[in-house]
Amino acid sequence: MTDFTPIGIVRSPFRTAGAPPFQSSFSRVEGTVEVFPEYQEGLASIGGFSHLILLSHFDRAERRALTELPLSDGQAEHGIFATRHYNRPNPIGISYVSLTRVEGGLLHVTGMDLLDGTPVLDIKPYIPEFDSIPHAVTGWVSAKHIERIRETSILAENALSADRRGL
């Protein structure tokens, strides 16, 4: 067993399971990361980075599954380590958000794909030479699956806009 203590919390407009876009890369939704006072010293010189990696705890994942119907494909189960589903043995999420402004311990970001109140375990700067592998081959995940994820993310944003207009 390994104990981690959250260093901050996500503030997002998404409050119910299933509401957020499936991937931060397809989200233009704004949100904030509130870094707790005792960790704010760790934010020094973060302002120069355009993108941050958030490691978060999917604290409202319902179960810890070994196989799962992927969010993009209700037809066939895959091993959980071959999917990005949140029902994982260790429900740790990776989000890549665009940093728009730092205001003390508050990081204003776009690309939100997390539920409001999600605990943040770590923040790392995104560095393309370390993190970007444009040529990676994606196994069972086809262009069609990715397009479905993109479409679902747009629907999630539209639902949010409708909700804000009281529709």
Given the rule CB under 8 A, which of 9-17, 89-97, 158-166 is the region that contacts a second copy? 89-97
> Nearest approach, Cβ of 77 to a second copy (angstroms)?
8
Residues 6+ apart with CB under 8 A from 114: 10, 12, 14, 20, 31, 54, 56, 93, 95
Given the rule CB under 8 A, which of 9-17, 82-90, 156-164 is the region that contacts a second copy? 82-90
Nearer to a second copy, 16 or 50 (CB): 50
Q: Does the protein bind a second copy through residue 148 (CB under 8 A)?
A: no
143 three-state secondary structure: helix
Nearer to a second copy, 147 or 163 (CB): 147
Nearer to a second copy, 16 or 138 (CB): 138
Tell me the C-alpha distance between 17 and 151, whole Å.
18
92-131 positions binding a second copy, by CB under 8 A: 92, 94, 96, 119, 121-131
Instruction: State the sign of the Cα–Cα–Cα–Cα dihedral 130, 135, 138, 144.
Output: positive
Written as one letter, the residue type at 6 is P
Integer CA distances (angstroms), 39 to 46, 56, 62, 151, in order: 13, 16, 29, 37
> Nearest approach, Cβ of 148 to a second copy (angstroms)?
12
Residues 6+ apart with CB under 8 A from 129: none
Q: Site residues (CB under 8 A) for a second copy? A: 1-7, 23-25, 35, 39, 41-53, 55, 57, 59, 66-67, 77-84, 88-90, 92, 94, 96, 119, 121-141, 146, 149-150
